[in-house]
Amino acid sequence: MTIFVIRRVGLAAIILLIVAILLFSMMHLIPGDPTVVALGPRSTPEMREAFREMMGLDQPILKQLALYLGRLAEGNLGEDVWSRRPVLTIIFEVLPYTVTLALASFLWAVTLGIFLGCLAVVHHGRWPDWLIGLLSVGFVAVPSFVVALYSLLIFAVSLNWLPAIGAGAPGDIVGQLKALVLPSFAIGLGWVGYVARLVRAAMIEAMGENYTRTLRSFGVSERRIIYRYALRQALLAVLSVIAIGFGGLLTGSVFAEIVFSRPGLGKMTYDAVMSRNYPLVMGTVLVTSALYVTCMIIADVITAWIDPRVRSAL
């Protein structure tokens, strides 16, 4: 198991290295002279030459790449173009907001989704199944920003139960939790439907397996077959999809963050792209890639933990 994790982490490092190289090449493929962007169009050729020398842009490209990767290895993702603050610091300032939002959204959505999926299978072919099917499709179909706007109108503006914007004052746990409710609802709702559909389909498949027939032939109750046996197989099937979805949420939910004026990776990346803040964009891409591969590693470990066949093959 330890070797398995180490191998996975090694693989993740290689993936991140490739991402970094791609990012570096992209920077050089972007049209325009970086020195003009940095110094402005009125700068003299001498000033640009001096700047080029200072930034190492006059070096051969492979050497530049080596320097860039070397800085990355030290944890230096460069400086923000406008504020001159380290990119990593800026990212780590907003990351907690994004992670809490992603966790909160996913926790309730996946729990409810699995529950509804099971419920649909227990009542397979009868009205609860139909109702859950209908709701699931509805949840998936409605875009999260629509849910965000409506929930904002109802619960924050009309009823005034919950804050409309922001993430809560630092130190104010209750306020922060309150500020989490509406965004996580807006983001999670679609996932409830998605997970419910996935779990239902995977469970129905599991219920058709030979081993469930064996259990049934011994008079084992349908309930136990569903919750102890079929559910485990179903979770295995939906795990990787859920992990990818969670990775996606970690990279930020732009809509929810904009609607609720919440700090977060999504909104920050959006702003950085719009203001051509390349070091910040590159830094965020690297960090989100790292978060993605971490999710996949965790999913792989959970898979190995659930499935003895995978475990033994390690």
Partner 1 sequence: MTDQMPVTSPVLEMRDVSISYSGIIPAVTGVDLLVRPGEIVGIIGESGSGKSTLAQSILGLLPETVKISGQKLALSGVDLLAASDSTLRNLRGPAAAMIFQNPMTTFSPLHTLGRQLMDLLWRERHLSTLEKRQMILVALQDVGLPDPAARLEAYPFQLSGGMLQRVAIAAALLMRPSLLVADEPTTALDVTMEAQILHLMREIRNKAGVSILMISHHLGVIAELCDRVAVMYAGRIVEEGPVETIFADPRHPYTKALFACEPALISDTAMRLPVIGGEVPRPVDVGCGFAGRCSQVLDCCSVLSPPWVAVHNTDAPHLSRCHRSAP
Give me the residues that bind partner 1 (CB under 8 A), please: 209-211, 213-221, 224, 228-229, 232-233, 236, 306-309, 312
Closer of 92 and 211 to partner 1 (Cβ):
211
Closer of 7 and 213 to partner 1 (Cβ):
213
Helix (H) or strand (E) holding 272: helix 265-274
Q: DSSP E strands: which ranges in the chain? A: none
Closer of 89 and 221 to partner 1 (Cβ):
221
Residues 173 and 181 sit within 8 Å (Cβ to Cβ): no
User: Least distance to partner 1 from the beta carbon of 307, Å?
Assistant: 6
d(CA 246, CA 105) in angstroms, rounded, equals: 9
Residues 124 and 226 sit within 8 Å (Cβ to Cβ): no
Closer of 28 and 228 to partner 1 (Cβ):
228
User: Least distance to partner 1 from the beta carbon of 309, Å?
Assistant: 5
User: Least distance to partner 1 from the beta carbon of 304, Å?
Assistant: 12
User: Least distance to partner 1 from the beta carbon of 240, Å?
Assistant: 16
Burial 68-101 (b: 16+ CB within 10 A, else e): beeebeeeebbbbbeeeebbbebbeebbebbebb
Length of the chain: 314
Would you state the structure tokens that stand for residue 57, as one six-digit string? Answer: 């842009």
User: Least distance to partner 1 from the beta carbon of 278, Å?
Assistant: 48
d(CA 284, CA 306) in angstroms, rounded, equals: 33
d(CA 36, CA 84) in angstroms, rounded, equals: 18
Closer of 20 and 225 to partner 1 (Cβ):
225
User: Least distance to partner 1 from the beta carbon of 191, Å?
Assistant: 25
d(CA 311, CA 314) in angstroms, rounded, equals: 5
Closer of 59 and 303 to partner 1 (Cβ):
303
